[in-house]
Structure 1
Amino acid sequence: MSKVNELRSERAKVNDAVQALAAIESAGGQLSVEQLAEFGALQAKFGEITAQLDRAIAAERLAAASAVPVDAPTNPAAPAQGPPAYAAVPKAKELPGAKVAQMVRALAAAQGDGRRAAQIAIDRGFGDEVAMSLNTLSPGAGGILVPQNLSSEIIELLRPKAVVRRLGTRTMPLNNGNVTIPRLKGGAIVGYIGSDADVPVSQQSFGDLKLSAKKLAALVPISNDLLAYSGSNQNVDQVVVGDLTSALATREDKAFIRDDGSADAPKGLRFWAMATNLIPVSDGATVQKVDTDLSKAILALETVDANLTTPGWIMAPRVFRFLESLRDGNGNRVYPEMAQKQLKGYPVGVTTQVPTNLGAGANESEVYFVDFGDCFIGEDETLMIDYSKEASYDDGSGKTVSAFQRDQTLVRVIAKHDFGPRHVESISVLTKVTWGS
């Protein structure tokens, strides 16, 4: 440990002792003569260590400022050509989300103790930003509130993983858990009139999209071997942050696509869509039938003058592969752009969160065409994280797993958000899709 970190650690211990004495008086007690003497001695020691720490930091800065490059070995036979050249070494690219993963590892090692976690972060070389964030953590009712500068990394990393976010849905902060977005429901009447006619009076009508915080809890089992790794390593950090974001993205996508708004969940695209925009497809027996069905989804938005600023498709992998492999009578691919995740000029999001077991035959699916520029995610920009090495969890197949027995730590991440379109006319859904079944 460096001298600076040593002094910081020593000063923290002195401060803990001072605070313990101060707490006696805060609780209405009275310090004894010995305790008063001890308080004075600790106060003097705190000032002495602070002075030493200031000098040590100044010494390190001066040493860094006056550092000179080490002379490279020279070849006596070579002519003098000025100062030696050194090959440039590119700075290693920082892994997105690494700071979040390191914070999780430090907190898990410290069992949620922010001050101890900050020291662990320093000892393991996680950097000043992680240590400072851990030092300022606030405990919440269900765990630790992640600082916004770190939780924003998680939100950014969700974008490529969550289909609804990736296709261009806009985000809004939830102030005090709510946000209201006004929307125009009916427009003014405009028309030509004669020279002596009165201008007709018309009235615009408005509505509101109200988003309120819905709590999403993700439970992520992480190997204790990974969390206990003592140094900073991109591969370890990538596994940890990948587990966190994948768990959040998977459940979030399901909610934003197909949840019905009950049981404290957001209402998804399927249940925001108007009944007239739920379009049953044909049997898909011919290329022409499939193409007509897809065109109906686009036409549903064009007919109501949707803005179509950021339109896109969402479909299940089975439907995507069917359309990608669809060929005409000459053996040519009907939609060759599907190789680039494009369909009829619009981006395609593929996710297993669109079911393929709907309908009486349990073989139907859905295809969504949405103007995502007209959809909003209202989200609280803080996350809450909690830990347990003893809890059990359901592995998804109905089997209960003990984290203690598996040598795992359960990391619970709680996020708050809501979802909705400003205009419900911006959503169309092809239903009863059996393509590829």
Structure 2
Amino acid sequence: MFSIPTTNDLAARKNAAEFFNTAGVKSLNDITPHRMDWKDLRAVAASAARHSRSMLDRIKDNTPAERAEEIETAFDGLMALHRACEDEMDVRNEIGNREPRDQEATPEMLARRPNHSAQGSGVDDGTEYNAVDLTDPQNPMSPANWLMRSTGSRESRSFKAWAQAKGGDQYRGLSLGRYLRSMIVGAETDIERRALAEGTDSTGGFTTPTPLSAQLIDNLRAASVVNQAGAITMPLSSDNQNMAKLLTDPVPGWREENAQVTESDPTFGNVPMAPKSLAVMVKVSYELMQDSVNLERELPRILSTALAQELDRVALLGSGSAPEPLGIVNTSGISTAAFDAELTNYGPFVTGRTAVLSANAGPTTAIIMHPRDEGRLIGMSDGNAQPLMAPKAIEEIPMLTTTAIPIDGGSGNDESTIIMGNFAKLMVGIRSDIRVEVSRSYAMDRLQYVLVAHMRADVAVQHASGFHAITGVGKGT
């Protein structure tokens, strides 16, 4: 039975009053996800995630330890509710019925979800993670089994938890921002000195310790639109790994007793995932790094946001020409409709949703577009000058925006592309280590330093017909 521990519930009530007012409840345990309407279920899940992130922003370097612990306890309670709502939505999508249900999801129903992880409720009970053998394919924490979909949470499917399971958490209490600062101004604590000693090489670069690198990757995932849309992330443990790709649906056939079973075409093939290099450079002055009160928090955010936007771009539109990964739009087998006009109604989305369903690819989990196109949708009106309402089936699909999609294509230099589909069919593979290098020779007359963050990632589409692209959106006349 779904239940939030009393300590988490009380802490959440104290630190997230706005959430309770909006939800109209006095306790997190007053919320029963399986009995909620789909729209309310999505709203509560989004609100819980939003208020959780807002609470964590209250923790500063000078926040007393007792106060920080209280906020984290409240965070864990809200995120446990968020995961329960996501679990319920996954189950309804799996059974093909989004209506409220009389009974909670059973462990067997949860286990049938393609992104299921048997790692418990997700409430942080302070348990330390010990190093485990991640090369064992039977281990649920091996890269092949550690599929991550949630964003902005500290649940067991985060890269941080994976890194802890991989080698323990000897840097507990050290933030990525503090580590980056120590690379420039020097270590001030024993834990910073240990982290720098582990990562320093003869060329002046640093390989960020895995637990700290995982923080940056989790920030990246939280900022990634394709991850919000439902893409599944997995850590890559080598330079070449294969993912299964659906080629054709199996075709069953009726047979007489003792008769031969009719052969079906092969259903799966291999998609190689070979991580490619992605890097971002940031310049910062010694004085700013030493004196700024918020740069330790902002620098990881800036790095992760920049990396996330480019990763979103290639996941959606990547050409596949080295060194760029192949994205959804250029993957053979996706359905495409050349719209070649400005949006005036929701017809193109109805067509796309039908194409995805007709391919037996599951539900459409998101529609991704440039903010310009979303603005046009919001501004559409009917014959009575009233806002044009989307059909219910389209209204239920999250519409996400990213400036990673260009709007200067086509003959009129003002066309864009909208991508929709079941994003659980998109795999994003990330190597768990991020290398951060510092140049002390750049513009030394100004005491400026250059930080270069370098990661390796790849994307793979598991079921091409699970996606639909609407091209030529906004074509000029």
* Same fold per superposition (TM over 0.5): yes
CA distance in 2, matches of 1:102, 1:144: 14
In the TM superposition, what whole-angstrom CA distance separates every residue of 1:309-368 from its partner, at most 9, and x where no partner exists? x72111111101000111212333224799xxx953112221111111111110111100
3-state SS of paired residue (2:178) = helix
Equivalent in the alignment of 1:371: 422
Q: Which is richer in strand?
A: 1
Correspondent of 2:208 among 146, 149, 160? 146
Q: Residues 140, 347 of structure 1: CA spacing in aligned structure 2 closer, same or farther, 3 A cutoff?
A: farther
CA distance in 1, matches of 2:438, 2:257: 77
Equivalent in the alignment of 2:41: none
Is residue 329 of structure 1 aligned with residue 383 of structure 2?
yes
Aligned residues of 2:340 and 2:474 also touching (Cα < 8 A): no
Is residue 277 of structure 1 aligned with residue 335 of structure 2?
yes
Q: Name the aligned partner's letter for residue 280 of structure 1.
A: A
3-state SS of paired residue (2:300) = helix
Q: Residues 243, 184 of structure 1: CA spacing in aligned structure 2 closer, same or farther, 3 A cutoff?
A: closer
Q: Residues 208, 142 of structure 1: CA spacing in aligned structure 2 closer, same or farther, 3 A cutoff?
A: farther
CA distance in 2, matches of 1:137, 1:330: 65
CA distance in 2, matches of 1:98, 1:295: 48
Correspondent of 2:461 among 417, 421, 427? 421
Equivalent in the alignment of 2:138: none
Is residue 313 of structure 1 aligned with residue 367 of structure 2?
yes
Equivalent in the alignment of 2:175: 99
Aligned residues of 1:281 and 1:433 also touching (Cα < 8 A): yes
Equivalent in the alignment of 1:223: 285
Is residue 202 of structure 1 aligned with residue 252 of structure 2?
no
Equivalent in the alignment of 2:276: 214
Aligned residues of 2:419 and 2:467 also touching (Cα < 8 A): yes
Aligned residues of 1:103 and 1:130 also touching (Cα < 8 A): yes
Q: Name the aligned partner's letter for residue 350 of structure 1.
A: T
3-state SS of paired residue (1:302) = helix
Structure 2 residue ranges without an equivalent (≥5) = 1-64, 76-151, 153-172
Aligned residues of 2:340 and 2:471 also touching (Cα < 8 A): no
CA distance in 1, matches of 2:394, 2:201: 47
Aligned residues of 2:229 and 2:400 also touching (Cα < 8 A): yes
The CA deviation at 1:188 is 3.5
- Point out the structure with max Rg over C-alpha: 1
Q: Name the aligned partner's letter for residue 216 of structure 1.
A: L
Equivalent in the alignment of 1:354: 405
CA distance in 2, matches of 1:167, 1:315: 12
Aligned residues of 1:103 and 1:121 also touching (Cα < 8 A): no
Is residue 137 of structure 1 aligned with residue 199 of structure 2?
yes
Q: Paired residues, what number?
A: 313
Q: Name the aligned partner's letter for residue 434 of structure 2.
A: L
Aligned residues of 1:387 and 1:409 also touching (Cα < 8 A): yes
Is residue 185 of structure 1 aligned with residue 241 of structure 2?
no
CA distance in 2, matches of 1:197, 1:242: 63
The CA deviation at 1:247 is 2.2
Aligned residues of 2:365 and 2:422 also touching (Cα < 8 A): yes
Q: Residues 336, 406 of structure 1: CA spacing in aligned structure 2 closer, same or farther, 3 A cutoff?
A: farther
Equivalent in the alignment of 1:292: 347
In the TM superposition, what whole-angstrom CA distance separates every residue of 1:193-231 from its partner, at most 9, and x where no partner exists? 5x689455213412012100101111112232232239x
Aligned residues of 1:180 and 1:210 also touching (Cα < 8 A): yes
CA distance in 2, matches of 1:407, 1:320: 43
Q: Residues 332, 404 of structure 1: CA spacing in aligned structure 2 closer, same or farther, 3 A cutoff?
A: farther
Q: Name the aligned partner's letter for residue 360 of structure 2.
A: D
Q: Residues 326, 273 of structure 1: CA spacing in aligned structure 2 closer, same or farther, 3 A cutoff?
A: farther
Structure with the larger RCO, 1 or 2 (CA within 8 Å, 6+ apart): 1
Equivalent in the alignment of 1:161: 223
Correspondent of 2:451 among 391, 411, 414? 411
Q: Name the aligned partner's letter for residue 345 of structure 1.
A: E
Report the TM-score when normalising by structure 1.
Answer: 0.64
CA distance in 2, matches of 1:142, 1:177: 25
3-state SS of paired residue (1:271) = coil
Correspondent of 2:188 among 106, 116, 121? 121
Q: Residues 199, 141 of structure 1: CA spacing in aligned structure 2 closer, same or farther, 3 A cutoff?
A: farther
Equivalent in the alignment of 1:60: none
Aligned residues of 1:316 and 1:352 also touching (Cα < 8 A): yes
Q: Residues 187, 313 of structure 1: CA spacing in aligned structure 2 closer, same or farther, 3 A cutoff?
A: closer
CA distance in 2, matches of 1:212, 1:178: 5
Report the TM-score when normalising by structure 2.
Answer: 0.59
Equivalent in the alignment of 1:260: 319
Aligned residues of 1:273 and 1:427 also touching (Cα < 8 A): no
Aligned residues of 1:169 and 1:376 also touching (Cα < 8 A): yes
CA distance in 1, matches of 2:195, 2:372: 44
CA distance in 1, matches of 2:274, 2:357: 30
In the TM superposition, what whole-angstrom CA distance separates every residue of 1:109-160 from its partner, at most 9, and x where no partner exists? 24xxxxxxxxx231xxxxx654432332253878211111101100111123
Aligned residues of 2:220 and 2:308 also touching (Cα < 8 A): yes
Is residue 236 of structure 1 aligned with residue 295 of structure 2?
yes
3-state SS of paired residue (1:243) = helix
3-state SS of paired residue (1:226) = helix
Aligned residues of 1:184 and 1:204 also touching (Cα < 8 A): no
Q: Residues 337, 148 of structure 1: CA spacing in aligned structure 2 closer, same or farther, 3 A cutoff?
A: farther
